[in-house]
Amino acid sequence: MKTKVFIDGHEGTTGLRIHERLSTRQDIELVPIADDVRKDPDAIRACMKQADIAFLCLPDGAAAEAVTLAEGCDVRLIDTSTGRRVAPGWIYGFPELSPQQAAAIAKSDRVGNPGCHASGAISILQPLTEAGIVPADYPVTAFSLTGYSGGGKKMIAQYEGDKGQDLYAPRQYGLVQQHKHLPEIVTICHLTQEPVFTPIVDDYYSGMEVMIPFFSHLLAKKVTAHDVWQVLASHYDGCPFVHVLPFGEDKGGFIAANDMSGYDDMEILVTGNDQRIMVTSLFDNLGKGASGAAIQNMNLMMGIDPTTGLNLT
């Protein structure tokens, strides 16, 4: 029997990618909604009633309204907006936090899909805070370089149209330190203060690189770069979605932010030296950073192999 899936907001970047991926799966039946009623509450609720699982690929306000529309419907929700990622009653959709997290996602009716920048930061920080290496009050600094598809249809049109000279260069944003992914990083990694977070968008379509540097003398334990690598390698051992590269791997001295474009898994590298340790997470902002993660969570909720229908390295 096929699982019935409704995508509320399938015309956006994430929703469109999910729709494309699921449309070819034999175990999924997509619940359609006509374009002329795709914002009509009654039509949306009718689709919710038909579905086993619904993806909310909407702006925060519209996603909140969709959650209300789903009340009383026997439908399980995966929300890709920021509003419910760490809200009470919702499970954070990063299964690699722990085996218990994956099990909680599988049982949940309400899953908040992680943000793209947050996915990279959390993949680095959470195992290290859990191991007692990074203290809760560590002054975290995170740099994140993303392709322009992360800005959605409007930004894609800017970069792929007649663009000004400024769009040919990397552009830093989030200048007032209020990026919407900060709350989930703080909550999931049990930090006592928000990181200094520097996101940068560049003139390539997809792929993301999140790098967090650590001064070893500020860490809670005396560790080397190899010790940090060992903690991460142990945490993700056997995980099909996160691969910690061998210690000493530096990709020839240059890390390209689009290395994982087109894939749904992550690579983590530990570089630097024993005084200044650098940890980098590489992934596709549209893959493990968005639609790939959402489908991974759906697979878990369906009780099937989480890699089903996904493109792994």
Domains of the chain, each with CATH number or no CATH: 3-114+289-302 (3.40.50.720), 116-285 (3.30.360.10)
Strand order in the sheet with 171-172: 171-172, 196-202, 141-147, 208-215, 276-283, 266-272, 242-244
Q: Are strands 141-147 and 196-202 parallel, antiparallel or unpaired?
A: parallel
Distance CA 150, CA 186 (A): 21
CB atoms within 10 A of CB 201: 22
Give me the pLDDT at residue 152, please.
Answer: 87
Angle between helices 152-160 and 13-22 (to 10 degrees): 100
Give me the pLDDT at residue 139, please.
Answer: 98
How far from the centroid of its chain's Cα atoms is residue 214's Cα? 22
Give me 166's structure tokens. Answer: 């400024």
Distance CA 274, CA 216 (A): 7
Give me the pLDDT at residue 301, please.
Answer: 99
Distance CA 304, CA 313 (A): 20
Amino acid 222 reads K
Q: Are strands 76-79 and 110-112 parallel, antiparallel or unpaired?
A: parallel
Give me the pLDDT at residue 185, please.
Answer: 97
Q: Give SS3 for 228.
A: helix
As a residue count, the chain comes to 313
Give me the pLDDT at residue 72, please.
Answer: 94
Q: Is 47 a catalytic residue?
A: no
Annotated catalytic residue: which of 47, 116, 189, 239?
116
Q: Give SS3 for 208.
A: strand
Q: Are the C-beta atoms of 209 and 217 separated by less than 8 Å?
A: no
Distance CA 255, CA 235 (A): 23
* pLDDT of the chain, 313 residues: tens digit per residue: 899 999 999 888 999 999 999 999 999 999 999 999 999 999 999 999 999 999 999 999 999 999 999 999 999 999 999 988 999 999 999 999 999 999 999 999 999 999 999 999 999 999 999 999 999 999 999 999 999 999 988 999 999 998 888 999 999 999 999 898 999 999 999 999 999 999 999 999 999 999 999 999 999 999 999 999 999 999 999 999 999 999 999 999 999 999 999 999 999 999 999 999 999 999 999 999 999 999 999 999 999 999 999 999 9
Give me the pLDDT at residue 164, please.
Answer: 86
Q: What is the DSSP letter of 289?
A: I
